């Protein structure tokens, strides 16, 4: 199992300016090579403190790629529904060149009604836009002088520039939450899947769907699963809980607020059960997140036990993507935490 760092801004201007937030993130990226974190990942969201500081993950990752010379830089994830495939393919080729061939691209369907409303896009089109966007970006990256007539975007005799540094293109991931179609679809296409262990038994089921679909598609190996965990590693157990509790609770509150439209009358056949999903998340807190293994918080010894417990109960995961400066957690505490995790936890999970 390998580990990387994941940035998911859940702050607004009243807490940290954009300048301060990204300065802190890049200072943490500076430690990646020394501490053997294998990737740097960031999200794409808009218009809300839940992720809204990162409307274009590739911009941050271009900067991050110059602060680490070893770690992969990964979007977690780009949203085709809000992007032109022509622009996105060109930007991917550009960061692949800037990073020296270290970029990996995650694609997500987007799930916040507030984003769809502001972009003027119908929620019911989300699956079709995702499928088309992913297909078109892949085509533009893998081949030259290509044409594609889609429902939402079309182009003729087009060669995207710059051409990818990695051939035939950078690795792809698909972000998935609780939809069997998303997990199975990622596997059939031969892509890795990135997820969040919101509810343990459901994640176990979805991981099984992914592994089985991977084999049914005839791919070699078992595919790759990357899951995001809040992580805070501290010498004292009770202090770790006291420090992480507030920031994790505020992160959950920001998610619930951003997704509140699902409980305010918005519905879509493309997102069945999202009202109940958000209702369940609204009941979540630090203690329940920790109890189901979605957060690794405590001493190094405790976190080793938490990781082993998750793997034995839910299943094997190739990559743990650690959210290290969630909400308003101070920089100096996040930095000490990643040092502790690297030195005292990671050696127990080396391949």
- Return the pLDDT at 167: 96
- Return the pLDDT at 236: 97
Give first-to-last CA distance, the chain, whole Å.
6
Q: What is the CATH number of the domain that holds 157?
A: 3.20.20.30
State which residues form the domain around 234.
Answer: 2-349
- Give the torsion sign (CA, 41, 48, 131, 59): negative
Q: What are phi and psi of 171, to 5 degrees?
A: -60, 145
Q: Whole-angstrom Cα distance, residue 106 to residue 205?
A: 21
Burial 209-239 (b: 16+ CB within 10 A, else e): bbbebbeeeeeeeebbbbbbbbbbbbeeeee
Q: Whole-angstrom Cα distance, residue 23 to residue 19?
A: 6
- Return the pLDDT at 181: 86
Q: Which helix (H) or strand (E) holds 81?
A: none
CB 104 within 8 A of CB 226: no
3-state SS string over 227-266?
EEEEEEECCCHHHHHHHHHHHHHHHHHHHHHHCHHHHCCC
Strand partners, 107: 78, 174
- Return the pLDDT at 179: 81
- Return the pLDDT at 250: 96
Strand pairing category for 192-195 and 172-175: parallel
Token couple for 102: 């270290």
CB 345 within 8 A of CB 304: yes
Pick from 74, 141, 140: which is nearest to 102 by CA?
74
Q: Whole-angstrom Cα distance, residue 223 to residue 288?
A: 29
- Return the pLDDT at 180: 87
CB 67 within 8 A of CB 46: no
- Return the pLDDT at 197: 83
Instruction: Please name the residues in contact with 145: beta carbons below 8 A apart, sequence gap of 6 or more.
Output: 157, 158, 159
Token couple for 66: 């110059």
Which residue carries 């300016």 as its tokens?
17
Strand partners, 295: 230
Instruction: Please name the residues in contact with 100: beta carbons below 8 A apart, sequence gap of 6 or more.
Output: 65, 69, 165
Would you write out the chain's pLDDT as a tens digit for each of its 351 residues? 999 999 999 999 999 999 999 999 999 999 999 999 999 999 999 999 999 999 999 999 999 999 999 999 999 999 999 999 999 999 999 999 999 999 999 999 999 999 999 999 999 999 999 999 999 999 999 999 999 999 999 999 999 999 999 999 999 999 998 788 889 999 999 999 999 887 667 888 999 999 999 999 999 999 999 999 999 999 999 999 999 999 999 999 999 999 999 999 899 999 988 999 899 899 999 999 999 899 999 999 999 999 999 999 888 899 999 999 999 999 999 999 999 999 999 999 987
Q: Whole-angstrom Cα distance, residue 187 to residue 212?
A: 8
* Tally of domains in the chain: 1
């Amino acid at each position: 199992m390998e580990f990387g760092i994941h940035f998911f801004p859940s702050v607004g201007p009243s807490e940290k300016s954009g300048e301060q937030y990204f300065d802190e993130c890049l200072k943490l990226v500076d430690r990646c090579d020394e501490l053997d974190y294998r990737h740097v990942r960031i999200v794409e969201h808009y218009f809300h403190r839940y992720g809204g500081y990162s409307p274009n993950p590739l911009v941050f990752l271009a900067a991050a790629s110059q602060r680490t010379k070893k770690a992969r830089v990964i979007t977690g994830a780009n949203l085709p529904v809000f992007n032109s495939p022509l622009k996105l393919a060109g930007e991917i080729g550009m960061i692949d060149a800037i990073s020296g061939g270290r970029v990996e691209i995650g694609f997500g369907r987007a799930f916040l009604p507030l984003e769809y409303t502001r972009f003027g896009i119908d929620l019911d089109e989300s699956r079709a836009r995702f499928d088309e966007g992913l297909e078109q970006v892949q085509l533009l990256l893998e081949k030259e002088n290509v044409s594609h007539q889609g429902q939402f975007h079309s182009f003729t005799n087009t060669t995207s520039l710059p051409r990818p540094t990695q051939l035939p293109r950078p690795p792809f991931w698909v972000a998935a939450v609780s939809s069997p179609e998303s997990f199975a679809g990622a596997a059939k296409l031969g892509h890795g899947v990135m997820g969040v262990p919101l509810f343990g038994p459901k994640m176990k089921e979805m991981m099984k769907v992914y592994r089985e679909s991977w084999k049914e598609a005839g791919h070699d190996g078992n595919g790759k699963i990357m899951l995001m965990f809040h992580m805070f590693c501290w010498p004292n157990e009770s202090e770790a809980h006291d420090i992480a509790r507030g920031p994790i609770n505020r992160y959950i509150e920001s998610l619930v607020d951003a997704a509140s439209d699902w409980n305010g009358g918005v519905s879509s056949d493309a997102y069945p059960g999202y009202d109940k999903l958000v209702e369940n998340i609204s009941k979540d807190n630090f203690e329940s997140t920790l109890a189901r293994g979605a957060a690794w918080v405590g001493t190094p010894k405790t976190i080793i036990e938490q990781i082993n417990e998750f793997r034995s109960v839910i299943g094997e995961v190739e990559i743990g993507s650690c959210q290290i400066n969630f909400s308003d957690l101070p920089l100096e505490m996040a930095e000490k935490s990643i040092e502790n995790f690297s030195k005292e936890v990671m050696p127990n999970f080396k391949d």
